[in-house]
Structure 1
Amino acid sequence: MTQQPFTGFPPQPQYGFPDQRSRDSGMATAALIFSLFGLIGLVSVIPGIVMGHVAFAKARRGEAGGKGMALAAFVIGYLIIILYAIAIPVALNIAAKHGAFR
């Protein structure tokens, strides 16, 4: 009976969750940040929506991660534009009723 040479210890089992962020999701993250900054000013919503659509398309093709974050970015961006489209005329109407434009 021959003895097998020692080749080291067997690999240890990995605990926890696998790395879900292995693919790059930087554009989706930036799109979400730009869309959320749209609450402060309307200008940053447009790049947030555009980058959200681009990141979502890349995630669908498998080129990048962050599909959910990209979806959230452009949905939030569109909701903020709708919010501004409602709030600005309402604010102008209230101001006109109180004589701000005399």
Structure 2
Amino acid sequence: MPAAYLLVEMKISDPERYKQYMAQAPAAVKAAGGEYLVRGGRHETLEGDWSPARVAMLRFPSYEQAKAFYDGEMYRAAREHRQGATDYFNMVLVEGASAPV
């Protein structure tokens, strides 16, 4: 079963409020079997018009586990703390490629 990835682009407008979200989100990720691969950090646009302010990427063992994380009670509670803390917060779930046989 291939892993699944959450790709997130965001622009934080209220860092203090966003800290409340980040105080809860990592525990929800871990409880669902996920891990952060990218969490902010240096980035640059190499092609195209995409210029995200901040990027995060998370990996989960499966697509279903990533969906369960997003829909789960722990992450729903964390998302409430994110309200009003970002100008935008876009998240895409994508299933990874199966390993070659």
The TM-score with structure 1 as length reference comes to 0.30
Q: Highest CA radius of gyration, 1 or 2?
A: 1
Structure with the largest fraction of helix: 1
Structure with the largest fraction of strand: 2
The TM-score with structure 2 as length reference comes to 0.30
Between 1 and 2, higher relative CO (CA 8 Å, sep ≥ 6) is seen in 2
